[in-house]
Amino acid sequence: MWMVTGYVDVPARLGESALSDGRLLGWAEWGPLDGVPVLLCPGAATSRWLGFGAGVVEALGVRLVSVDRPGLGASTPAPGRTFSDFAGDVRQLGALRGLERPAMVGNSQGAPFALACAAEGVASALAVISGADEVAAPQFASVLDAGLRGLVERTVRDPVGAEEFFASFTADAMWDMVMAGSPGCDLALYQDPEFAAAYRRALDEAFAQGATGYARDTVLAMGRWPFALDEITVPVDIWYGEQDTSHSPDNGALLASRIPGAHRHVVPEIGGALLWTHAESVLTSLLGKAVTDG
């Protein structure tokens, strides 16, 4: 059975940085200020508040930085934003916070945003953890269940209408959806009182400005990705739990084949909770690749 190496801890530092257009980008940090920078793109509808690897980041000398995407948490909305816009925001944040080209972690719906950063040379190395896959890719059309296939087709056909639909979601609805769709091995973590409180706080904070930030994220993630995966040149780890049935139709096999040199890990006896149950393995591998790249 899997071992939990650390749940979550309250951030050591919280703040907002002003970007060149006046918008604020909210962030949270854990670990030593002089540690190796690792920037986290959090999962769907969660805020900077939910980190990972309590105790592990300190032991490994990692400066973990979690960022609110525009419209979520403390970050100013940016209607109509693109993947490339987010990569530009991260580039600016790196300069403002002394992160240089950080290693990055993209979890769940944060994965395509982290991949976009890698494609634009903002990241020095990348770990995709339980990543939302490119479900609009034609190779997946025949394997998606009818409900998801219909939602993907609607998003591609009418992104404006789909964005309006996703803007009706709430923090409670997201919690219920995750609990209903997770295997028992994940629920053992998600329903732990300490983790559940942190997760609910991150959801509530993410929806503090409404659901438009989540809606924009979802339309971008569920549509065709405009960046070229085969042009990513930084080292990439791709991690999926064997029991994860909600993030990728093939546990990242196609995704890994599209990224030169990507290393795919499929971990038994866990699902989408992999980021928290295997934080030490994820970060150790990522740090090795970041050092090699540097």
Give me 185's structure tokens. Answer: 């091995």
pLDDT tier, 7 (very low <50, low <70, confident <90, very high otherwise): confident
68 and 92 Cβ atoms separated by less than 8 Å? no
Q: Which band of pLDDT confidence, cut at 50, 70 and 90, is reported for residue 84? A: very high
Per-residue pLDDT tens over the stretch 214-224: 999 999 999 99
Report the sign of the C-alpha dihedral through residues 101, 130, 202, 12, in that order. Answer: negative
The mean pLDDT of the chain is: 95
What are the C-alpha distances in Å from 12 to residues 41, 195, 238? 18, 17, 28
Q: Is the pLDDT of residue 277 over 90?
A: yes
Length of the chain: 294
Instruction: Tell me the CA distances in angstroms from 269 to 3, 56, 139, 238, one per residue in order.
Output: 10, 21, 27, 17
Q: Over 50: is that where the pLDDT of 1 sits?
A: no
Q: What is the DSSP letter of 211?
A: S
Mean of the pLDDT values across residues 40-68?
96
Which residue carries 């979802």 as its tokens? 218
Model confidence pLDDT, tens digit, residues 117-173: 999 999 999 999 999 999 999 999 999 999 999 999 999 999 999 999 999 999 999
Picking from 189, 209, 208, the residue whose alpha carbon sits closest to that of residue 199 is 189
Strand-pair category, 24-30 with 13-18: antiparallel
Please determine, for residue 96, whether its predicted confidence score (pLDDT) is greater than 70.
Answer: yes
Per-residue pLDDT reduced to its tens digit, 224-255: 999 999 999 999 999 999 999 999 999 999 99
288 Cβ contact list (under 8 Å, min separation 6): none
Q: 34, exposed or middle or buried, with CB in 10 Å at 0-12, 13-18, 19+?
A: exposed
- CA angle at 177 for the pair 175 and 181, rounded to the nearest 5°: 120
Q: What per-residue confidence (pLDDT) applies to 4?
A: 39
Positive or negative, the CA dihedral 31, 67, 116, 182 is: positive
User: Quick one: which of 274, 221, 222, 285 has its CA closest to 243?
Assistant: 274
Average pLDDT over residues 89-102: 96
Query: How does residue 291 score in pLDDT terms, banded at 50, 70 and 90?
Result: low
Q: How large is the average pLDDT for residues 66-95?
A: 98
